[in-house]
């Protein structure tokens, strides 16, 4: 004896699978790919900012002891770091005193995009600052006093 509702579950899954589950899975895959690209872009941007901030203007340091960032060398160092990643592009390098800000971007092709443009542009920004060394040990070090 066959019940009246024996095929309802099959019809339910036949409708729900393409309408709800597959787009959700596609979105999850697109989000994972975008997050992986963004993570790598942030890493490249931070490395570029740190390397740019380490470019000291040697002539100013020798002349008067001023610790400044060499603008040309900082831009070149940031450009070299960003060019090491073939997908990333350098948007800007900003210098304000002892602070360097690097902005980058990358175009990501979404693997399972159902709607709209399959390309997404992501941006990252990082700031680094040049600081002189320390004058004395920090009193909050977790070492006993007898080691000094």
**pLDDT tens-digit profile of 65-95?**
778 889 999 999 999 999 999 999 999 999 9
User: Sheet harboring 99-109: ordered strands across?
Assistant: 88-96, 99-109, 119-129
Highest mean pLDDT, choosing among 44-53, 108-117, 138-147: 44-53
pLDDT at 89: 95
Give bridge partners of residue 125 from the DSSP assignment. Answer: 103
Find tokens 């393409």 and name the residue.
Answer: 18
Nearest partner of 90 among 53, 129, 47, judged by Cα: 47
Q: Report d(CA 59, CA 69) in Å as an integer.
A: 11
H/E element, 102? strand 99-109
Which sequence spans correspond to the domains of the chain? 10-133
pLDDT at 147: 47
Classify 135 as helix, strand or coil. Answer: coil
Rounded to the nearest integer, the mean pLDDT of the chain is 83
Which carries the bigger pLDDT value, residue 135 or residue 146? Answer: 135
Residue 2 has pLDDT above 70, yes or no: no
Q: Encoding tokens for residue 77?
A: 């160092």
Q: Report d(CA 103, CA 23) in Å as an integer.
A: 33
- Condensed to tens digits (0 to 9), the pLDDT of residues 15-31 reads 777 777 788 888 888 88
User: Considering just the CA atoms, what is the radius of gyration of the chain in Å?
Assistant: 26
């Amino acid at each position: 004896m066959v019940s009246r509702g024996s095929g309802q579950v099959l019809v339910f899954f036949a409708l729900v699978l393409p309408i709800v589950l597959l787009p959700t899975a596609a979105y999850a895959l697109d989000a994972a790919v975008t997050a992986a690209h963004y993570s790598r872009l942030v890493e490249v941007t931070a490395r570029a900012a740190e390397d740019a901030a380490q470019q000291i203007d040697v002539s100013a340091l020798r002349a008067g002891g001023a610790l400044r960032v060499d603008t040309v060398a900082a831009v070149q160092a940031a450009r070299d770091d960003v060019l090491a990643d073939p997908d990333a592009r350098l948007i800007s390098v900003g210098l304000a005193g002892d602070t360097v800000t690097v902005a980058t971007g990358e175009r990501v092709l979404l693997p399972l995009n159902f709607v709209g443009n399959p390309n997404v542009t992501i941006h990252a920004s990082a700031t680094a600052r040049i600081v002189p060394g320390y004058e004395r040990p920090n009193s909050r070090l977790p070492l006993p006093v007898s080691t000094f």
